[in-house]
């Protein structure tokens, strides 16, 4: 019986892959013939206007998704659309449209001794697959960046956001049709797991896949993909409170990094505290208490906060407290004797996403900025700024935590590759 069931599952998965192979082929053909389309910015601006004019309709679709999710789920905030967030999506799209094209940029040029002219120029990657969870804004961000950079995109959203993603995709296709652009430049796959497997194994059709979501999603993609993967998203974020720093500024930065939006990947997960601050730690963390943030403190910081931080929000740290991306109103606290211990803690538990130091010691600041291995490293600022739009990229397709090809927020330039163009006048290579 188990064998028969396995055969049925494998047969179904094979059938899905065969059906979707046509989709992938169309995306490849659309990308290969897209360089002649010159009205990309007009499409993006038109679509931005549509997002704003159809706000109520989009909110109604999003409400269908929200009604199926527990409001206490950490993904709920990521899933939720508001009028303000839709306006922000439209604004980001207009910013992408206003940026210069990343294509056909001359990166390098020189002549060889035999008079061959070599030029290194930027080109689209080709077809980009993105697998993401309850983040409908990703649908628009990925499309705008891929479309502007000449890449076709194949999107596989989560079942949590199916109504929101389908509504957004219908607007995108309407905008493409209005300008006569190839609709296969963007495709939304079904939200089932079979579609994910088909995308991850689309060798020869999809050039790269980018997961955006939880550690579990990223691991699933890395373990099952037969095409290149750019890891993005998972963020175990630390901020180190150095021996010398401005206490009031530290309190403001820490509160912003933790509570601005707890469900995003740049939110603070662990506060590393120099022991010098233990007596004033409750003052620094008062804003977190006001925001009802639960604290998982090591022994020294727990003793320092006991009776000074709400009892119902203070817990002893355990082995799971460090190295955890909380995505919630929760934070871990680790006490250290100095910056070397802080660096060691980050090296052990960090995810190479965003890390920060709050300090008045210029030597320690430079030591931290140089030695911390992360995509974004901050001094005296909130990690909440790790974001493509905040970095001036218009939007982002994700925040890469790896080192090959791209690192940190990925915008238009990161969605290009390059090729060598060689011009000659009859040269041949000697034997």
For the chain, domain boundaries: 2-232+397-422, 237-385
- What residue has token string 């549509």? 50
- Site of tokens 């020869």: 204
| Domain 2-232+397-422 CATH (choose: 3.40.50.10800, 2.40.30.10, 3.40.50.970, 3.40.605.10) | 3.40.605.10
Place of tokens 């003793």: 303
Calpha distance 138→187 (Å, rounded): 13
CATH fold label, 237-385: Aldehyde Dehydrogenase; Chain A, domain 2 (3.40.309)
Taking only the tens of pLDDT, the chain with its 431 residues reads 544 544 444 444 555 666 788 999 999 999 998 988 999 999 999 999 999 999 999 999 999 999 999 998 878 988 999 999 999 999 999 999 999 999 999 999 999 999 999 999 999 999 999 999 888 999 999 999 999 999 999 999 999 999 999 999 999 999 999 999 999 999 999 989 999 999 999 999 999 999 988 888 899 999 999 999 998 867 899 999 999 999 999 999 999 999 998 988 899 999 999 999 999 999 999 999 999 999 999 999 999 999 999 999 999 999 899 999 998 999 999 999 999 999 999 999 999 999 999 999 999 999 999 999 999 999 999 999 999 889 988 888 889 988 888 899 999 999 999 999 999 999 999 98
Token pair for 255: 């509160």
Q: Which of 155, 153, 154, 151 is nearest to 126 (CA)?
A: 151
| Alpha helices by DSSP H, 191-292 | 193-200, 215-224, 247-259, 281-284, 286-290
Whole-model pTM: value is 0.86
The dihedral of CA 302, 235, 220, 161: what is its sign? positive
Closest to 196 (Cα-Cα) out of 160, 231, 156: 156
Tell me 101's DSSP state: P
Q: 290-317: buried (b, 16+ CB within 10 Å) or exposed (e) per residue?
A: eeebbbbbbebbbebbeeebeeebbeeb
User: Are the C-beta atoms of 386 and 376 separated by less than 8 Å?
Assistant: yes
The half-sphere exposure of 206 on its side-chain side, counting CA atoms within 13 A, is 31
**Helices marked H in 225-331:** 247-259, 281-284, 286-290, 299-305
Torsion over CA: 341, 345, 347, 351 (sign): negative
Is 79:66 a contact under the CB 8 Å cutoff? Answer: yes
Are 404 and 428 in contact by the 8 Å Cβ rule? The answer is no
In whole angstroms, give the CA distance from residue 153 to residue 143: 7
Q: 418: exposed, middle or buried (C-beta count within 10 Å: 0-12, 13-18, 19+)? A: middle
Residue carrying structure tokens 């389908």: 166
Give the C-alpha separation, 288 to 255, whole Å.
Answer: 6
Residues paired with residue 88 on neighbouring β-strands, in sequence order: none
Close Cβ partners of 344 (under 8 Å, ≥ 6 residues apart): none
The DSSP H or E segment spanning 240 is strand 237-241
The secondary element (H helix, E strand) that includes residue 335 is strand 330-336
Q: How many CB atoms lie within 10 A of CB 30?
A: 20
């Amino acid at each position: 019986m188990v064998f028969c069931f396995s055969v049925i599952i494998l047969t179904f998965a094979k059938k899905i892959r065969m059906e979707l192979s046509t989709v992938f082929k169309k995306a490849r053909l659309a990308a290969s013939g897209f360089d002649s389309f010159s009205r990309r910015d007009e499409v993006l601006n038109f679509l931005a206007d549509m997002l704003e004019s159809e706000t109520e309709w989009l909110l109604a679709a999003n409400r269908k998704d929200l009604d199926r999710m527990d409001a206490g789920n950490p993904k709920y905030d990521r899933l939720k659309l508001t009028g303000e967030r839709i306006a922000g999506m439209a604004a980001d799209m207009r910013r992408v449209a206003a940026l210069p094209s990343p294509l056909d940029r001359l990166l390098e040029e020189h002549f060889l001794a035999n008079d061959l002219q070599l030029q290194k120029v930027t080109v689209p990657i080709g077809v980009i697959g993105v697998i993401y969870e309850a983040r409908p804004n990703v649908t628009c961000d990925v499309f705008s960046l891929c479309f502007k950079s000449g890449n076709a995109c194949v999107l596989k959203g989560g079942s949590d956001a199916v109504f929101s993603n389908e509504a957004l995709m219908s607007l995108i296709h309407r905008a493409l049709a209005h300008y006569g652009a190839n609709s296969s430049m963007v495709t939304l796959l079904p939200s089932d797991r079979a579609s994910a497997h088909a995308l991850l194994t689309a060798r020869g059709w999809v050039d790269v896949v980018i997961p955006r979501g939880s550690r579990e999603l990223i691991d699933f993609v890395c373990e099952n993909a037969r095409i290149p993967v750019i890891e993005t998203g998972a963020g175990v974020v630390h901020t180190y409170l150095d021996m010398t720093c401005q206490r009031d500024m530290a309190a403001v930065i820490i509160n912003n990094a933790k509570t601005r939006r707890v469900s995003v990947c740049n939110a603070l997960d662990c506060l590393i505290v120099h022991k010098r601050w233990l007596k004033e730690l409750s003052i620094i963390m008062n804003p977190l208490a006001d925001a009802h943030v639960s604290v998982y403190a090591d022994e020294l910081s727990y003793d320092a906060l006991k009776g000074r931080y709400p009892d119902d929000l203070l817990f002893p740290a355990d082995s799971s407290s460090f190295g955890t991306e909380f995505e919630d109103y929760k934070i871990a606290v680790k006490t250290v004797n100095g910056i070397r211990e802080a660096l060691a803690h980050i090296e052990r538990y960090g995810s190479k996403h965003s890390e920060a130091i709050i300090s008045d010691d210029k030597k320690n600041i430079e030591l931290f900025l140089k030695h911390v291995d992360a995509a974004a490293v901050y001094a005296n600022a909130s990690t909440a700024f790790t974001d493509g739009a905040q970095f001036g990229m218009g939007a982002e397709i994700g925040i890469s935590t790896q080192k090959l090809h791209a690192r940190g927020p990925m915008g238009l330039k990161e969605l290009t590759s390059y090729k060598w163009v060689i011009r000659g006048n009859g040269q041949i290579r000697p034997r």
